[in-house]
Structure 1
Amino acid sequence: MADNYNLPPQAYHQQDDEIDLKELFIALWKGKWIIIFTTFVFAVGGVLYALSQPNTYKAEAVLASANDNKSGGLAGMAAQFGGLASLAGINLSGGGTDSKAMALAILQSRQFINAFINKYDLMVPLMAGEKWSELTDTLQLDSEIYDSQTKTWVREVEPGKSPIPTDWEAYKEFKKLIAVSESKDNGLVTLSITHLSPTIAKQWVDWLVIDLNAWVKKESLDETRRNIGYLEEQIQKTSISDMQSVFYQLIEEQTKNLMLAQVQDEFAFKTIDPAVVPEEKAGPKRALICVLAVLLGGMLGMGIVLIRFAFTKKD
């Protein structure tokens, strides 16, 4: 003990700042009721929160690109008739875009999604759905958002905003439901919709595939018609028979593409595994929510006890 009196002042501070694990365990044991209480409160809150969340269901379809072995538009013309076109002084080697990547970009674009929502009148089930009734297979709406009797939007909004959802709000909400993934191994694309209603989820996936194929098909047909029109103009501008022969061959090829595209329904993607009505819920993960709530409550309780111990030790 006499040696301790001879220690310099810095040594006293160092001894005071040292953490004794035994003291920590004793402090935690003394504060066990605080830890138990906070853990219990968070556990009950986690259970109530998990039970209050409605079930969600995910329907998905597996798709394969219908254009992996084909090239369209000016890129296809350049691949087959690049030499002939160069003789005619025409550049057909415009930068081509991967057809699958372009179709996937269209699928997630704001223009396509808003057109999809408006076409099938999906604003109400998208923005006002509350829960799904398994007995009647119907989607129940939130009366605080949409009045189904008067068919009016009654949601509370900030001053200056309309209770009717905008296209931008609908787009952001739809983006939360849709998921698109591409396999690196085989290139197959999985398109899924997660919704409160399993029937609606399946239906929306089917509609998305149909509309995406129709959208890409229309754009391709329009491009092909523009190509044919351009080539016909070039025929009128030249009197050289060799060049006219080149143009006619190019027009013939584009006309074939046009005829084939008009009879092809699965233009962008072929359905390998169509969507079905899911029978098992995709969420919420109630067990995980409860476990996280218990862990968070226990950590908070331990934090409170240790903070009290630290202040008590300083005093």
Structure 2
Amino acid sequence: MEELSTHNPDEISLKEIVIKLRLARTYIVSKWLTILFSGLIGGLSGLGYAYFKKPVYIATSTFVLEDSKSGGLGQYAGLASLAGINVSGSGAGGVFQGDNILELYKSRSMIKQALLSSVLINGRSKLLINVYIDFNHLQENWQKDQKTSPILFKENTKIFTRLQDSIITDIVKTINDKLLSVTKPDKKLNIIQVDVATKNEAFSKFFNDKLVQTVNNFYAQTKTKKSYQNVVSLQKQADSVRRVLNGSLSGVASAIDATPNTMSREEYMNPGGVKFKEGIEKL
């Protein structure tokens, strides 16, 4: 009876492995020039990319936005509104609700104020807008195109020329479109993340800090203004109540003068006097 031998096509013998390795080595040796040339091209391309591609520095600020919902105070909002007092989250506080805060960070006013802020870099005070102009080599481009003298921004300048205002507008647009990102990583949470990505490490950091500080100052001023308005409203209400009370006291005092065996006007109008207390006890 003949023995049947079975061979699994998926199995490979040690001899076949050695043969395949020899064939691979022979192929690599025959193509060594191509492989070397390809490696050199790849290495040079990587070096060139690393040299010409400037690093991007990203400065990030993350913070929690105040919840402007009234919460437990809401039950008193209607009563307070009768006195002209705003205790709800509406009004000025609405600027800081929802996606409004995201747009506030990207507004021209906030970015402009941050750009015109001075920072200390290498021991020298500089405006951030001048730092931006320097590391982007904008002065050289302007002088080539328009043959103009260097354009510099000075501290504490209130009025700008038409050219300076145009430059500010262009820089604000570039920052908004390419360099600034204001997002809410989680839509369910009041967490705001501000990212500034530029090729200058110092500018990324300082501009991020100044922008957040500018918006925070605006927030504080807005809240303070609303609180001040509430205090003024309370003062007006108190003055009105005082006038009504004084009028009522004067009317009662006149009635006392016309009634015998009662306190005089002067005694009534002096609540701290002894006769006032005695008169109260007799009533």
> What is the TM-score normalised by the length of structure 1?
0.44
* Structure ranking higher on relative contact order (CA contacts 8 Å, 6+ apart): 1
Structure with max Cα Rg: 2
